[in-house]
Structures are given as structure tokens and as C-alpha cells.
Structure 1
Amino acid sequence: MNKKAVCFDMDGVIVDTMRHHVEAWRHAFNINGYDHEELIFYLREGMPGKKTIVDVFNHSNVEVNEELIERIYVQKRDYFKEHAQYEFIEETVSTLIALSDKRIPIAVVTGSRKEFVSEVLSKLPVTFDIIVTGDDVKEGKPSPEPYLLAMDRLSFKPSEWLVIENAPLGIQSAKSAGAYCLAVETTLEEKYLKEADQIIRPKEMLLQVKSLIKGMK
């Protein structure tokens, strides 16, 4: 099974930010009179911000208007910008370096805003061939659009791509785009990741990628 390019989700795969995103979401909902458990937001990782808000309200059978959606969206974004601190996931950084050394094309596909993505990726010791952010697509994950957009920028078939994800919506997006998906247990347990082709722990990432990528044997 020789894959020729690797695409990484960012939040929860490259960088440990999901707990800060979840904290910011809970804060924004709470100050507007709504309280939700953390899992509600972890399961919606990768979904565009305003769509997340609508989906959470739909899940609770609560009607919502555009004014409230916009207010929660801005409050979440501002809280995250002010409070978020993050660290890179060491196993992913090691994998990125190994791929870069072998000149294997690497991409990032994330629902995060371009401004934040640029800030994060600028601190890494590698350069990505393709970057797709939430600002680049009409439909975010679980739609296949983000991954298809990345794939269209290189000449490989979808089946020649390996995607590394950590959340159900990202897995759905990658699989719908035709890629082989490794799910890494960084933010959610295995039971939430079963749609992936393979589920791994962070420490297994480099070994599994080497086994799948042409030119890394």
C-alpha cells in the first residue's frame, strides 16, 4: 500500500489546541446562558465555527437566530485569541521532519482561520507543500471539499493520499475524498474514531507512516 503524499489535520494532530478551543466554546455559550459538556464540542472538531454553533443548538432542540450565532462566534474567537496557549505534538513533528527529509509532499487541511494557521505553522521546522484553511472552502468538514481541494493541487489520485486525523468529522471528510485515513488518539477515544482505516496512538505515528508511504521503507 504505497501512498505518495500525506495530509495532516492541524488542531489535535500537529498542535495541542483542542482543549483551548473547547474551553473557548464553553465560555461563549455559558455567558449567553447555555451550558454544554466538553464532548459536544470535541465531536464537532473541524466543523466551521458558525456551523458548529447551529449544530450544537440543533442538538439541544433550541431555536437560534443570526444575532446570537454571530455573538457567540465572536466571543469564542476573541476568548481563544486571548487565552489559548499551545504546544506541538512531538510525535507529529518528528513525522513531519522525516517526511520532509525524504521529500514526500506534505499538506495541512484544517478548519481553523488562516491567520491562526499561519502563526502556528511558521513555528515548525518544515515547509508544507499545500495549506487549506477554513477560509479557503465553502463547506468545511465533514464535507470532502477541504481534502479534495488539497488533492487537486498535486497530480496524485485520492487513493494515493494518506490523511492523519483525530476526530470523526475529519475522518468522514478524508474518507469521502477517497483517502486512506489514520486516526490518532490525541483528543478522543478509539470508540469515536472507528470510521478510520486504522487507529493509532501518537507514539505509533512515525512507524505507521513509514509502513504506508512509498520512499520511506
Structure 2
Amino acid sequence: MSANTSVFERAFGAFLFDMDGTVLNSIAAAERIWSAWAVRHGVDVEAFLPTIHGARAIDTITRLNLAGVNTQEQAAFITAAEIDDVEGIVEIPGAAAFLNRLPQDRWAMVTSAPRDLALRRMAAAGIAEPAVMITAEDVQAGKPDPAGYLLAAKRLGVEPADCLIFEDAAVGIQAAEAAGAALMIITTTHQHPIETAHATLASYDALRVDVDSNGRLRLQKN
């Protein structure tokens, strides 16, 4: 864990979690599918793969600006393939137990994945479905736009600035910053050390949560 301990010095109204790379690791499955897709469309796989993480499929494909490609059809194709292939998807260490200890009305999932894919991946990783889940279908603009996080805070009845967001990918971190929330960056799936002023975490086993008399959440280090 980083030396930045500010998130341990205050209470939060709610916790908001990204999914892929934050509570579960789906990199192997996602990269299998996107790699095959990129080859079929003549896209440089090595340069392309780092751009897929944290973003909606339709936004990833749109950014490529490929001639003659129907972005909605291709995004649907990718989603269907990802729903079929969940081999190797696992929870980030300690994530399921950590989430299970949180009050249901005090946390939400905010993912760039479509709902059906999100539920499939969470089931594969042993992550319970949350009471509040914002998915690709719920927003007009995906991350790095903060719309998903703002909507999650609204549905939980809290202000974004009263939330702690757990993220891992660059576009998600940008979305969390734009929402005005505090950040905890999960580093489990990072291949290289991240330079950031935000708190960082490799395993949820290093954390516990205390709920105060007002129902507010306080992070504690184990």
C-alpha cells in the first residue's frame, strides 16, 4: 500500500467499484477475444490491446475509425464472445469477502461492460451481484466521462465527493477524478508500477471496513 493514507483519515458515504481489474481479473479472456478480432480487422494487436481496458467496447471500436465497420454490430459481437469465454477469470485477492462485508446500500459497481457480460464475469469470479450496478447501457458516454460514477452516487443517495472509488485503468481513474471523488487504485493486474498521488492497493486482504453509528464507511489497514 502506498504512503498516501488520506483515504484512511476520513469516513465515506459510499464505495464505488470498477469491475475488470478492480474486483476481478478478466485480462486473459478479454485479450484472447480482442486479439482475434484485431487480427481479423488488420489492427496492430500489440499497440491495440493496451487501449481496451476500462472502456466500453463500442468506444474502443469507434476510436479506431475503421472504414466499413458497423461499430454497434462489432461491439455486440465482442460482448457475445466475451460472455461465452470466461475461462481464467478470477477475483482480485480478497475482493469477494471485502464486498460481502459492506452494507448493501453503501456500495455500487460501475463498469464499462454491458450488464449481461458483467453478471457473467462476476459469477465466474464468485462476486455477488450488487444492489446498485451501473453498466454500459446506463450511460450515454463511457469512461473517462464520469457519468457512470455520478449516476451510481445518485442512486445511492450520496454526493460524488462523499465517495471512495476503487479503480485500476487509466480511463477509469480519469472518470473518478472528474467525478470529484477520492480514489483507491488497485494495482494487482498492473505490469508496471504506477506513479500516482492516489492511494494504491494490491490485495483487499490488507483492508477492513468499519461502519460508524451514522452508517458511514471507514477503511482500516489489517
Aligned residue runs from structure 1 range 46-195, under 5 A: 46-55=54-63, 57=64, 64-67=66-69, 69-70=71-72, 72-85=74-87, 86-100=89-103, 105-121=106-122, 124=126, 126=128, 128-189=130-191, 191-192=193-194, 194=196
> Normalising by structure 1, what TM-score?
0.80
Question: Greater share of helix residues, 1 or 2?
Answer: 1
Question: SS in structure 2 opposite 1:19?
Answer: helix
Question: SS in structure 2 opposite 1:90?
Answer: coil
CA distance in 2, matches of 1:29, 1:127: 31
CA distance in 2, matches of 1:75, 1:112: 13
Cα distance change of structure 1 residues 154 and 40 upon mapping to structure 2, 3 Å threshold: same
Aligned residue runs from structure 1 range 194-205, under 5 A: 194=196, 197-203=198-204, 205=206
Cα distance change of structure 1 residues 24 and 49 upon mapping to structure 2, 3 Å threshold: same
2:217 to 210, 214, 217: 214
Report the identity percentage.
23
Q: State the AA in 2 paired with 1:22.
A: E
Name the count of aligned residue pairs.
Answer: 205
Which residue number corresponds to residue 53 of structure 2? Answer: 45
Tell me the CA shift for residue 117 of structure 1.
2.1
Cα distance change of structure 1 residues 160 and 189 upon mapping to structure 2, 3 Å threshold: farther
Deviations along 1:79-129, one digit per CA (max 9) or x if unpaired, are 3233332222231112112224xx661100001111122334457575523
Question: SS in structure 1 opposite 2:25?
Answer: coil
Q: State the AA in 2 paired with 1:10.
A: M
Question: Greater share of strand residues, 1 or 2?
Answer: 2
Gaps of 5+ in 1: 58-62
Question: SS in structure 2 opposite 1:139?
Answer: coil
Aligned residues of 2:83 and 2:120 also touching (Cα < 8 A): no
Gaps of 5+ in 2: 1-9
Deviations along 1:33-58, one digit per CA (max 9) or x if unpaired, are 22321x64344422221210232x2x
Cα distance change of structure 1 residues 191 and 114 upon mapping to structure 2, 3 Å threshold: same
CA distance in 2, matches of 1:126, 1:81: 17
CA distance in 1, matches of 2:21, 2:190: 10
Deviations along 1:129-173, one digit per CA (max 9) or x if unpaired, are 311000111001000100001011123221210111110111111
1:25 to 34, 37, 40: 34
Deviations along 1:20-42, one digit per CA (max 9) or x if unpaired, are 112211110102222321x6434
> Normalising by structure 2, what TM-score?
0.78
Which residue number corresponds to residue 60 of structure 1? Answer: none
Give the alignment's Cα RMSD to 1 decimal.
2.8
